[in-house]
Amino acid sequence: MHISATIKPTWLFLILWALVIKLSCLAQGIEASLMPTPPLIWDATTKEFQAQSGDTNGVIIYSVTNTTSTNITIRMVRPSCGCTVAKLPAIPWIIPARTNSQMQLIIDLRGKRGTLNKYIAVDSTVGFQTLILRVQIPDATAGSGTARSRNQKIALADRQAVFRGDCIPCHVTTTLGKTGAALYDAACGICHDAKPKATMVPGLQAKRSPQYREYWYRWTAKGREGTLMPAFETAAGGPLSEAQIQSLADYLTQPQSSPHSPSPDKPTDPTLPVSPRP
């Protein structure tokens, strides 16, 4: 008597529980049968990638399944920035009916830090899709530690070395086609607004006013011999055109309302959201 009284509520609970599960399965089944299976299914449409300190590039594999009974052709896979390259098995990439295939995404991590969001547009015969890749890069990847002191030594021996060889991806390529504020961030901010800034690199806020145009022009074009400050003019082996140097002088002498703060790494498409840096 005493036993059955304690068992009864337990049984009742179990029966109710089974009913709830059964009902929710039924509801899910109905939902699933109402929603058509997408023709292309990716192993994940949002991926996270954690770079290791010192990595110069990262490789992420995307796997995709054609769930239909006909071939699907992926015509194009376009990442949101030039630093990411999609390696497809073929172009165009034909995925036969009910098969699975893979592509690689290769990101150039040099000179980058913090959290970056990449958007990868996929155009196929069954429509457009966007894949999201969130990349975490530790600070040390950028050029710190041993690489940093090695680079300083190279620049001390020859201040123009920063525009040659394996220095190019971070100190030259990033300046191409840029003017004004964007050029400042890429060409000058890399040294003058570094965190932490090297002791021999001065801050540049003091002379940002219209009477110093000649000062900015000369420092940018000629730099200073015997220091780490390179000459940016092409005549001295620098990467900047006359028009780019003029645009910097304009930018650095325009009246300041608020102090300059270096802009974070952004996706190249200005309409895309940018996540804050840690």
- Which residues here bind ligand HEC, judged by CB under 6 A? 110-111, 142-144, 148, 151-152, 154-155, 161-162, 166-167, 169-171, 187-188, 190-192, 194, 198, 200-202, 204, 219-220, 224, 227-230, 232, 248
Round to whole Å and give the CA distance between 255 and 74: 50
For ligand HEC, give the closer residue by CB, 78 or 224: 224
For ligand HEC, give the closer residue by CB, 169 or 210: 169
For ligand HEC, give the closer residue by CB, 47 or 192: 192
Which amino acid, one-letter code, is at 130?
Answer: T
Closest alpha carbon to 120 in 153, 94, 92, 81 = 81
Closest alpha carbon to 62 in 112, 8, 100 = 100
Residue 245 CB, nearest distance to ligand HEC (Å)?
8
Q: Which residues of 33-49 are buried (b: 16+ CB within 10 A; e: fewer)?
A: eeeeeebbebeeeebeb
Q: What are the structure tokens assigned to 125, written together?
A: 């015969």
How buried is residue 113: exposed, middle or buried, by Cβ count under 10 Å (0-12/13-18/19+)?
buried
For ligand HEC, give the closer residue by CB, 66 or 84: 84
Helix (H, G, I), strand (E, B) or coil at 150: helix
Residue 17 CB, nearest distance to ligand HEC (Å)?
58
Round to whole Å and give the CA distance between 247 and 27: 63
Residue 230 CB, nearest distance to ligand HEC (Å)?
6
Q: How far from 43 is each of 90, 101, 102, 126, CA to CA, in Å?
A: 19, 11, 10, 17
Residue 207 CB, nearest distance to ligand HEC (Å)?
7
Residue 156 CB, nearest distance to ligand HEC (Å)?
8
For ligand HEC, give the closer residue by CB, 165 or 270: 165
Residue 277 CB, nearest distance to ligand HEC (Å)?
13
Q: How far from 101 is each of 14, 76, 105, 207, CA to CA, in Å?
A: 45, 15, 14, 57
Q: At CA 163, angle to CA 157 and CA 166, rounded to 5?
A: 90
Helix (H, G, I), strand (E, B) or coil at 100: strand
Residue 210 CB, nearest distance to ligand HEC (Å)?
15
For ligand HEC, give the closer residue by CB, 33 or 146: 146
For ligand HEC, give the closer residue by CB, 103 or 238: 238
